């Protein structure tokens, strides 16, 4: 059996986190490591490496990762 590994760029990780926050599954205040519940275990190490290379710590908040949200009707 052959497994293909998914490349996780910082943009993909941010998009995943933002989608989970917008759906109300996660909070912007939770630590980044809570994303591991929603990313397959065999792919989590790739996510960790990408986050580390981009100077994010797993204890940082998801809000730090996804940045500020843009509101169209301010």
pLDDT confidence of residue 72: 61
Is residue 74 a part of any domain in this protein?
no
Give the residue numbers spanning the domain of 28.
10-66
Is residue 31 a part of any domain in this protein?
yes
Is residue 60 a part of any domain in this protein?
yes
Is residue 73 a part of any domain in this protein?
no
Is residue 57 a part of any domain in this protein?
yes
What is the count of structural domains for the chain? 1
Cβ atoms < 10 Å from Cβ of 63: 16
Tens of pLDDT, residue by residue over 6-63, are: 678 999 999 999 999 999 999 999 999 999 999 999 999 999 999 999 999 999 999 9
Q: Read off the pTM.
A: 0.80
Is residue 4 a part of any domain in this protein?
no
Cα–Cα distances in angstroms (integers) from residue 19 to residues 10, 16, 69, in the given order: 14, 5, 12
pLDDT confidence of residue 1: 53
Token pair listed for 8: 């996780």
Is residue 5 a part of any domain in this protein?
no
CA dist., res. 26 & res. 29, Å (int) = 8
pLDDT confidence of residue 10: 95
């Amino acid at each position: 059996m052959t497994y293909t590994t998914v490349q996780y760029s910082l943009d993909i990780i941010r998009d995943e986190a933002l989608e989970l926050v917008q759906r109300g599954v996660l909070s912007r205040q939770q630590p980044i490591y809570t994303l591991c519940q929603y990313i397959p275990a065999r792919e989590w190490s790739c996510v960790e490496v990408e986050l580390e290379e981009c100077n994010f710590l797993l204890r940082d908040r998801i809000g730090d990762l996804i940045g500020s949200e843009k509101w169209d009707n301010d």
